[in-house]
Amino acid sequence: MPPDIFGNLSRGNNVIAKLEELDSLNSLDGHQIGMARILRFRQNQSLLDATLEHTLRIEKASDILIAEALNVLVARDIPVSTRVLAAGALGHLIHCRPADAISDFDMDTVIESMSCILSRADSPALRKALSKAIGLARSRK
């Protein structure tokens, strides 16, 4: 993967523009490390949401992006609307993770974590998003 090209994440509008540019070029797959860094940057809600929305265009998901989307999902200090986006992103990312990926990262454990969150979720929107995401993740390639 190319190096992280997103630069200073405090300049959220520039980062969102870069995400949109990469998306228009169908190049997001090559920038998953940078997208994962954005998901760790919690100071800009619109940037976090935009990144989660762009994960839905990833074709071959990496473990690092899946891990960071999971971290967003489990963070109780993040708005439910963003956690809903993270659930959808996780379902998609797990589904499109290459089956032949060599890794110690266990997708079954990720899905178990999602199921645990589903069992404790108070928000109907989060419950719905998690149910859909878990179904999609379980049907992975």
User: Does 39 map to a domain?
Assistant: yes
Q: Which domain holds residue 122?
A: 12-138
Please give the structure tokens belonging to residue 18: 């870069």
Q: Which of 78, 70, 69, 17 is nearest to 43 (CA)?
A: 78
Contacts for 107 with CB less than 8 Å, ≥ 6 apart: 66, 94, 97, 137, 140
User: Does 6 map to a domain?
Assistant: no
User: Does 3 map to a domain?
Assistant: no
- What percentage of the chain exceeds 90 in pLDDT? 78
Per-residue pLDDT tens over the stretch 31-75: 999 999 999 999 999 999 999 999 999 999 999 999 999 999 999
pLDDT at 3 over 70: no
* Residue-averaged pLDDT of the chain: 92
Per the structure, the count of domains in the chain is 1
What pLDDT sits at residue 26?
Answer: 94
Q: Which of 47, 63, 56, 58 is nearest to 6 (CA)?
A: 47
Cα dihedral 40, 62, 116, 128 sign: positive
| pTM, two decimal places | 0.92
